[in-house]
């Protein structure tokens, strides 16, 4: 942890790992079917390019889903970073108006992963893991005026927000 880092957390979901394994396995099956068809064997009457295209589609989807295997939260003295792989939000403490426990249902955000939705009268981004507590940051400016993220330690994040002079009512 960097000396300026106040808090760091990495979380993963067993369900996400299962989805990645399933998608990867399906991609490998299509690759095997392509190799069989391309080398003169027969799976069915489909041309070999069909199996190659199916492999490529599932390989790309698997690579995309791998991006969501880990949710990372890094709180520094000046910023909060919430990240799913390459997709992240960096929020300056000076832009945070309020920090509260999020009591909404995970399903209200459309499930797990990075969700962009309309709620609480504004656009919001939710970095959501199912069945985990969440913290909501109401922002003063920005396209998304609310950032919601799952955490295993909401009390600790709320305490850090208080130390930063952020309202937690």
Poorest-pLDDT segment among 48-52, 118-122, 136-140 = 118-122
Residue 131 clears pLDDT 90, i.e. is over it: no
Q: What would the two tokens of residue 163 be?
A: 């130390």
Per-residue buried b or exposed e for 67-79, using 16+ beta carbons within 10 Å of the residue's own CB: ebebbbbbbbeeb
Q: What is the pLDDT of residue 61?
A: 95
Residue 2 clears pLDDT 70, i.e. is over it: no
Poorest-pLDDT segment among 1-5, 22-26, 47-51 = 1-5
pTM: 0.81
Q: What is the pLDDT of residue 112?
A: 80
Q: Which residues pair with 99 in a beta bridge?
A: 137
| Cβ within 8 Å of residue 12, ≥6 positions away | 69, 70, 71
Residue 70 clears pLDDT 70, i.e. is over it: yes
Poorest-pLDDT segment among 22-31, 37-46, 58-67 = 37-46
Encode pLDDT of 91-119 as tens digits: 999 999 999 999 887 777 777 888 888 88
| Residue range 8-33: mean pLDDT, rounded | 94
Distance CA 82, CA 74 (A): 7
């Amino acid at each position: 942890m960097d000396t300026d880092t106040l808090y760091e957390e990495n979380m993963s979901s067993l369900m996400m790992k299962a989805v990645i394994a399933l998608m990867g396995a399906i991609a490998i099956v299509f690759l095997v079917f392509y190799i069989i068809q391309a080398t003169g064997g027969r799976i069915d009457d489909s041309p070999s390019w069909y199996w190659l295209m199916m492999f490529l589609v599932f390989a790309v989807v698997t690579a995309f889903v791998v991006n969501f295997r880990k949710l990372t939260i890094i709180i520094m003295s000046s910023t909060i970073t919430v990240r799913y792989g390459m997709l992240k939000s960096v929020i300056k403490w000076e832009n945070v108006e309020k920090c509260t426990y999020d009591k909404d249902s995970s399903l209200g955000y459309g499930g797990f992963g990075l969700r962009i939705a309309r709620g609480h009268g504004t656009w919001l981004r939710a970095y959501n893991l199912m069945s985990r507590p969440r913290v909501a940051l109401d922002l003063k400016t920005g396209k998304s005026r609310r950032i919601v993220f799952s955490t295993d330690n909401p009390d600790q994040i709320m305490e850090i927000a208080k130390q930063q002079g952020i309202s937690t009512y």
